[in-house]
Amino acid sequence: MSETITETRLENGLTILTDKMSGVRSATLGFFYKIGARHEPTELAGISHFIEHTVFKGTAKRTALDIAIEQDRLGGNLDAFTTHEETGFAIKVIDDQLPQAFDLIADMLMTPLFTDADLRSEQKVIIEEMKMVDDSPDEQLGDIFNEAFFPAHPLGRSIAGTPKSVRTFDHTLTRDYHKRAFHPGNLVIAAAGNVDHRRVAVLIRKSQLGSPVSANGFDTAISAPSAAAPIIIKKNTNLEQAHLIMAMPFPAATDERRYAADLLANIIGGGTSSRLWQKVREEHGLAYSVGASCVMYKDCGLFSVFAATSPEQVGEVIDLSVAELSRAAADAVTIDELELVKQQSRASVLLSLEDSASRAAALAQCEMVHGRQISIDETLAKLDAVTIDDCRALTEEFFRTEHIALGVLGNVGKLKIDRDRLAISS
C-alpha cells in the first residue's frame, strides 16, 4: 500500500497534511499542537493536559452533552492526549462524515467556553486521575523516577501537573494560555484514509483555523536536560510485587542513530525472543513482565529496562539485567539477532500502512519532529542499513556504569543497591 502525501502550509503557520489511501472507507482526522508539558512554566505545570480535558466541556454552540452525543454518533473514536512535546486530538470516522468530524473538533479547539464551574469540576476529575496513578505502582514509579532522572527540568515533571497547580487553573488563566499557545501557528492537521486534500484544505481555510495569527509572545523553545544517574529505593509495604526501572541516556528522535537505537532496544528487551525476556522470565522464572524500550524526545532520549517481581527477587533481577547490559557492551549483538529485529520492525512499519489512524499520526510526527515527511522506503532503508558496528558504538557510548539510574518501588525491606552492583563490564 503506497503513500500519497500532500501538504499545504498556510500563511498563519498551520500545516495541512493528507495521505490518500485507496480501497478504504475510513478517514482519520488529527489536530496535533506542537506544544506539551515541557513547554509550560513551572507554575502552570499541567495546563496543556488540563486544556485537553476542558475543551470537551462546551463551546459557544455545543454543550458538553452535545459534544459527547456527536462524537458517539460519529463512531465514538475521538481520542485526546497530552505528552511532554505535543497535545493531540484525533478522530476516526467513515469517510463521508469527515466534514462533521472537522466541525466538531475545530469548534472545541477554537471556541471553548472554559466556564469557572466547568473548570472546577474538571479539576476534581484530573486530581482523581492523579490518584489513579498513585494506585498504579508502575506509573507511580515512573513519575518518581523521571523527576530524579531529569532533575529541575520539565521532562521530569508529571504531564498532569500537581493538585496544587491544577487548582489554580481558573477561567482567565486557562483562556489566556489557550489563546497564546493553542493557536493555528502551532498546529498540524493531518488526515489519512479516503480523504481528498483539496476538500480538507477548504474546510480549514473556511474555519477560524484559517485566520491570521497575531504575535502572542508564546515561546516554544526548549532546553536540553542534563540526565542524572540516581539510585532510588522507595518502600511500599502495600504492594505484592516490587517494580523497577533501570535507565540511561540514549539518542534523541532527531539523531540519525535512532534506527540503530530502536533495534538495539528490541534485541535487549523488545519481545518474547529478546535477551531479557528469555533470561529473566523463561530461564529463571523471575517475572511475568520484563522488557526494555527507548523513549526519544527532540533533544534527548533514554533507554530503560523495566520489570515487576517478588520483593525478595529484586536483587537477582537487577543482577541479571546488568549482566545482559554488560554482554551487549562486550559482545554487541549477533547477525541473527539484528536480522530478526529488522524483520520485526519491517513488519510493524508495513502493517501500520493499513490503518488510517497510524498513518495520520505518522504524518504529524514527521512534521513536528523532523519538519519533513520521511517516506516508508527511506525508513525501511535506514533500518536495513543498521550494522553490528552501529549497535556496538551505541553500547560503548551509553552503556556505562556512571550513566545507569535505578528506581525500585515495593515492599523491599532493607534492600540496598550501590553503584558497584550496577557496574557494566565490557
Active site (catalytic) residues: 52
- β pairing state of 242-250 and 405-410: antiparallel
Do 46 and 37 form a contact (C-beta atoms < 8 A)? yes
Residue 38 to residue 48: CA distance in whole angstroms: 10
- β pairing state of 78-82 and 87-94: antiparallel
* Long-range pairs for 112-115: beta carbons < 8 A, 24 or more residues apart: 112/51, 112/54, 112/55, 112/57, 112/58, 112/59, 112/178, 113/57, 113/58, 113/59, 113/60, 114/54, 114/57, 114/171, 114/174, 114/175, 114/178, 115/57, 115/58, 115/171
With 0-12 / 13-18 / 19 or more C-beta atoms within 10 angstroms meaning exposed / middle / buried, residue 104 is buried
Q: Which CA distances in Å does 53 have to 157, 160, 168, 257, 320?
A: 18, 11, 15, 36, 42
Q: Which residues of 26-37 are buried (b: 16+ CB within 10 A; e: fewer)?
A: bbbbbbbbbbbb
- What's the number of CA atoms in the CB half-sphere (13 Å) around residue 328? 29
Residue 266 to residue 342: CA distance in whole angstroms: 9
- The partner residues of 19 in beta bridges, in order of sequence, read 5, 192
Do 202 and 372 form a contact (C-beta atoms < 8 A)? no
Residue 159 to residue 174: CA distance in whole angstroms: 16
